[in-house]
Amino acid sequence: MTTLPSQSVAGCIQPPVPPQGQTVWLYSDGACDTTKGHGGWATILRYGDRELELSGHESGTTNNRMELMGLIAGLRALKRPCTVLVVTDSQYLRKAFTDRWILNWQQNGWKTASKEPVKNQDLWEELIELARKHALHFVWVRGHSGHAYNERVDKLAVQERLKLRK
């Protein structure tokens, strides 16, 4: 039995009935050359003794969009509701759920506390729909600190970003 980390999104965005399926580890990351807007994202799904790597790239993007795309791609790949342990080095991504930023943004008409439009609203809305199918729990790791799977998704995201170099 897997012990769940304390950074759950309980009370934020949860499926109406907790999933009874398996537990999946989802490692995701994004990378972006901010001067050129070349970005890459990557995710690794681990369940049982199986792994699935996914990655992609976009031009005209930002690092935060790529962080979101890594998680979105991983959740899109899940065919059944399950408990998902999301391992990320992005405080932006984690805190949007654990600190209830998403709920506040929705209640404020997709405006921040400073009344500015929320960036990446399109991706947040898709992520909310995907998150409603699963029980998400967030595990934050410091980037570039030697965590094997975080290093792997970082490397994959950077490789994707580099595909856009001209």
- Which residues make up each annotated binding site for Mg(2+)? 29, 67, 89, 154
Q: Is 67 noted as a catalytic residue in this protein?
A: yes
Amino acid at 64: N
Residue with tokens 């959740």: 75
Binding-site sequence positions:
29, 67, 89, 154
- Which residue among 30, 39, 40, 70 is the active-site one? 30
Choose, from 51, 60, 99, 144, the residue flagged as catalytic: 144
Residue from 87, 100, 99, 109 nearest 154 by CA: 87
Amino acid identity for residue 53 in this structure: E
Question: How far, in Å, CA of 42 to CA of 133, rounded?
Answer: 21
CA distance 25 to 67: 16
49 is catalytic: no
Which position among 89, 134, 137, 160 bears the catalytic label?
Answer: 89
User: One of 40, 67, 74, 160 is an active-site residue; which one?
Assistant: 67
**Residues forming the active site:** 29-30, 67, 89, 144, 154
